[in-house]
């Protein structure tokens, strides 16, 4: 049997990045319309760790790069099903029947997760940076092409809508957002475009695929695929590559952590990229295990930890917030909360004695101090874990609480919240 070949090329740069307050240059729309994309689907999607593919990578930061649909859409789900995956009606691989193995591998190897159901939004036009600067919490004026950040969309009263992962490209800014809120964020952004604004907002979710790599061996996987120039770069840094003449963007970070990597690509490139990652020892993880990992890591999501009941500081999202960039939606409320120490509750991880339904009250000595927002059984179903908001005066790390009627819980920090860096308070005069 012949060994399939995967050619990964990092496209070379010829011009310098340029950014002003109202202008960040991105990549132009012709690349995905190239006749080079008219490639037939000649590969089967075997999930085999034994297939080795030679890679030859070249850097592409300034070549034309857009996210128009390719002429041929390879169906990754057909491959998943043939490999034994259980796929939901809405096309999400729920499990590869290896959930415990995948969760164990997160600590000692590498997993790859298809998160193509997450939203991707493309914001273009000369005013895109200025626009997002005013609509979310991060300082987009400080970012250059090839960099990235997390930013939070909030209401005028700083209630959290979603955490977005932003990549600053040549002619656009790409946002990765939660799947359940993607459409409403797109509509919200379009609503705030004024007549004179040079901004276009486009949902590109169905025209792209999106994978993440999680685990301590992710650097090795990326290096073996000739993308070692990304290893050690700051969170959000990204580069553009060509896989079999089709564009792929690879970024540092994986939504749950500043470690690992994210990969966005044309659907026609997805089979080659997926097989290349598996060939380097990554194992596939389904969405069921991903949700369990999400809770264990403590990442808040819309509809659970991110609702109108909680503000952005109670969710602990300090890394996504600029405190000195000037006016933006929710800025006044955030400033008051910080100035007057108005953060009344915070998000905790909770080790639980038994299963319990999200929404259950959390009490201490019979007094309600909070609410459980997420629950999961731990690996191999040997324990129980949840996330919940608790009043600052109600309990602290290591304390015992009661969840629901009689479930015992013990409070613990979770990695996603623990790595958030709260700024030092200015000394009062």
At the topology level, CATH places domain 8-294 in Gyrase A; domain 2 (3.30.1360)
What is the model's pTM? 0.84
How far is Cα 367 from Cα 362, in angstroms, rounded to an integer?
8
With 80 as the cut, is the pLDDT of residue 174 above it? yes
pLDDT band for 424, please (50, 70, 90 cuts): low
Nearest CA among 271, 273, 266 for reference residue 69: 266
DSSP string, 352-365: ESS---TT-EEEET
Q: What pLDDT sits at residue 13?
A: 38
Helix 99-108 and helix 287-297, axial crossing angle in degrees, nearest 10: 50
At the topology level, CATH places domain 344-420 in Elongation Factor Tu (Ef-tu); domain 3 (2.40.30)
pLDDT band for 84, please (50, 70, 90 cuts): confident
How far is Cα 329 from Cα 36, in angstroms, rounded to an integer?
43
With 80 as the cut, is the pLDDT of residue 244 above it? no
Residue 217 CA to its chain's centroid (Å): 19
The residues of the chain that CATH labels 2.40.30.110 are 344-420
| Span of 178-182, 289-293, 352-356, 377-381 with lowest mean pLDDT | 377-381
Q: What pLDDT sits at residue 82?
A: 74
Nearest CA among 235, 301, 284 for reference residue 262: 235
Query: Which has more confidence, 44 or 234?
Result: 234
- Residues above pLDDT 70, as percent of the chain: 81
Please provide the average confidence, as pLDDT, over all residues in the chain.
84
E strands within 117-179?
Answer: 119-124, 148-154, 160-168, 172-177
pLDDT in tens, 268-315: 889 889 989 999 999 999 999 999 999 999 999 999 999 999 999 999
Main-chain phi, psi angles of 335, to 5 degrees:
-60, -40
| Span of 7-21, 87-101, 220-234, 407-421 with lowest mean pLDDT | 7-21
Q: What pLDDT sits at residue 91?
A: 85
Q: What is the dihedral of CA 242, 244, 248, 251, to 10 degrees?
A: -70
How far is Cα 363 from Cα 365, in angstroms, rounded to an integer?
6
For residue 220 the two structure tokens come to: 């090795």
Q: What pLDDT sits at residue 22?
A: 34
Q: What is the mean pLDDT of residues 357-384?
A: 95
For residue 250 the two structure tokens come to: 């690879």
Nearest CA among 417, 291, 402, 407 for reference residue 345: 417
Q: What is the mean pLDDT of residues 160-181?
A: 97
The residues of the chain that CATH labels 3.30.1360.120 are 8-294
């Amino acid at each position: 049997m012949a060994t399939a070949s995967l050619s990964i090329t990092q496209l070379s740069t010829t011009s310098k990045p340029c950014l002003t307050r109202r202008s960040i240059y991105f990549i132009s729309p012709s690349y995905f319309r190239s006749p080079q994309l008219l490639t037939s689907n000649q590969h089967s999607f075997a999930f085999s760790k034994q297939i080795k593919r030679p890679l030859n990578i070249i850097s592409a930061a300034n070549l034309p790069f857009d996210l128009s649909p390719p002429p041929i859409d390879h169906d990754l789900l057909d491959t998943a099903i043939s490999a034994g995956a259980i796929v939901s009606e809405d096309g999400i691989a729920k499990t590869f029947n290896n959930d415990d193995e995948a969760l164990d591998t997160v600590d000692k190897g590498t997993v790859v997760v298809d998160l193509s159901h997450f939203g991707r939004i493309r914001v273009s036009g000369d005013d895109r940076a200025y626009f997002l600067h005013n609509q979310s919490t991060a300082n987009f004026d400080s970012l250059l092409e090839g960099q990235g950040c997390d930013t939070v969309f909030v209401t005028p009263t700083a209630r959290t809508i979603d955490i977005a992962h932003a990549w600053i490209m040549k002619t656009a800014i790409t946002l990765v957002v939660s799947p359940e809120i993607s459409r409403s964020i797109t509509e919200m952004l379009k609503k705030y475009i004024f007549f004179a604004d040079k901004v276009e907002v486009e949902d590109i979710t169905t025209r792209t695929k999106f994978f993440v790599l999680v685990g301590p061996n992710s650097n090795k996987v990326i290096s073996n695929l000739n993308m070692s120039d990304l290893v050690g770069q700051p969170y959000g840094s990204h580069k553009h590559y060509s896989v079999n003449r089709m564009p792929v963007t690879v970024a540092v970070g994986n939504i749950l952590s500043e470690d690992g990597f994210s990969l966005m690509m044309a659907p026609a490139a997805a089979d080659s990229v997926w097989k290349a990652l598996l060939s380097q020892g990554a194992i596939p993880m389904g969405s069921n295990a991903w949700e369990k990992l999400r809770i264990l890591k403590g990442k808040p999501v819309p509809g659970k930890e991110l609702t109108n009941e909680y503000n952005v500081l109670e969710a602990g999202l300090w890394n996504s917030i600029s405190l000195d960039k000037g006016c933006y939606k929710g800025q006044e409320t955030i400033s008051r909360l910080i100035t007057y120490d108005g953060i009344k509750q915070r998000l905790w991880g909770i080790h639980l004695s038994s299963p319990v339904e999200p929404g259950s009250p959390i009490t201490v000595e019979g007094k309600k101090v909070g609410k459980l927002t997420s629950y999961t059984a731990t690996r191999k179903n040997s324990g129980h874990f949840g996330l919940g908001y608790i009043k600052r005066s109600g309990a602290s790390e290591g304390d015992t609480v009661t969840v629901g009627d009689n479930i015992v819980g013990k409070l613990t920090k979770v990695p996603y919240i623990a790595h958030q860096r709260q700024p030092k308070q200015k000394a009062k005069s």
